[in-house]
Amino acid sequence: MKEDSLMKDNSLLNKKPIFWFAFRGNDLLVKIENDKALIPQVEELKELNLVPVRVQDLGERYNNHYYSAELLNDAVAPEGMEFRGLRQLFTLVDEEFFMFIGRAIQIMAWDKTHQFCGQCGGETHKLPNEFGKACPKCGLINYPRLSPAVIMAVTKGDKLLLARNAKSNFPFYSVLAGFVEPGETLEQCVEREVMEEVGIKIKNIKYFASQPWPFPNSLMVGFTAEYDSGDINVDKNEIAEADWFGIENMPQVPSSISIARKLIDWYIDCESSNK
């Protein structure tokens, strides 16, 4: 987990331009210009009348230096700026930069929640050359948490399986997904999640792509698969409704920044080329 440039114990002496991912809770401080979200470029947040609770050195990228910062819950956005939730930034930044924002909020949240050792309660110290925290009392080391999850496009002939999440406030349909359980392979998780959520068996599981997803700390591993047997029978706990859809009657689907949409677009491209 070593960075291209070493963490510098919050030193702000780097001569490259300094940019700040400043979070109030899960909301990021941005300035909206021409339908683009920009993050502050200042040497220190006090220039914006903001006092960070904690600061994390993210190192260099794009020939700039970046920090994340945890702000107080009552922090006030400077004039001309505002706090936006990450989902509100989907259309305001490009995909690569959105993933970097996701990295920033995960590092910030990890630092916030690992001030003390989960084994003995001792105060933790940052490791000098990597994102890790060590307990000087018992020696336990913690790294930022990642939660692997699978997400899969299941096809049946020229149809794609899409479902609406029972717990989501968003009205769109998407492909199925779920978290990997201990002792389970990714392929086993794909099979189990599909069976649990809609009651069908699948076959020909193939890797598609992966994507970090900061809601809150997932690594989404995408797959394609084919229908094998069974009828759709939604669990009503995770899934409100599910059905097979063709390219001629696609429902509302997730935004293009997500791997879910990339899987759906893959299906549409495949079917369009077969017409």
Check whether 233 is labelled as a binding-site residue.
Answer: no
* Polymer length in residues for the chain: 275
**CA 127/CA 134 separation, integer angstroms:** 7
Q: Which of 251, 247, 243 is nearest to 268 (CA)?
A: 247
How is residue 181 annotated by DSSP?
P
| Two structure tokens written together for 137 | 């009392």
Check whether 87 is labelled as a binding-site residue.
Answer: yes
**CA 113/CA 271 separation, integer angstroms:** 46
Check whether 217 is labelled as a binding-site residue.
Answer: yes
Check whether 130 is labelled as a binding-site residue.
Answer: yes
CA dist 273 → 68, 158, 175, 266 (Å):
44, 12, 21, 11
Check whether 117 is labelled as a binding-site residue.
Answer: yes
Check whether 187 is labelled as a binding-site residue.
Answer: no
Q: CB count, 10 Å around CB of 10?
A: 13
Check whether 135 is labelled as a binding-site residue.
Answer: yes
- Spell out the alpha helix ranges (H) of 40-143: 95-113
Q: Which residues pair with 225 in a beta bridge?
A: 154
In sequence order, which residues have a C-beta less than 8 Å from that of residue 202 and are 6 or more positions away?
A: 152, 154, 190, 191, 194, 225, 226, 227, 228
Check whether 192 is labelled as a binding-site residue.
Answer: no
Check whether 120 is labelled as a binding-site residue.
Answer: yes
Check whether 238 is labelled as a binding-site residue.
Answer: yes
Check whether 197 is labelled as a binding-site residue.
Answer: yes
Check whether 179 is labelled as a binding-site residue.
Answer: no
Check whether 177 is labelled as a binding-site residue.
Answer: yes
Check whether 213 is labelled as a binding-site residue.
Answer: yes
Peptide bond preceding 212 in cis form (omega within 30 of 0): no
DSSP 3-state percent helix, strand, coil across the chain (nearest 5): 20, 35, 40
Check whether 216 is labelled as a binding-site residue.
Answer: yes
**CA 17/CA 67 separation, integer angstroms:** 11
Q: Can you say which residues are annotated as belonging to the binding site? A: 87, 117, 120, 130, 135, 138, 143, 177, 193, 197, 211-218, 238, 260
**Where is the binding site for Zn(2+), in residues?**
117, 120, 135, 138
Residues at the binding site for substrate are 87, 130, 143, 211-218, 260
Query: Which parts are annotated binding residues for a divalent metal cation?
Result: 177, 193, 197, 238
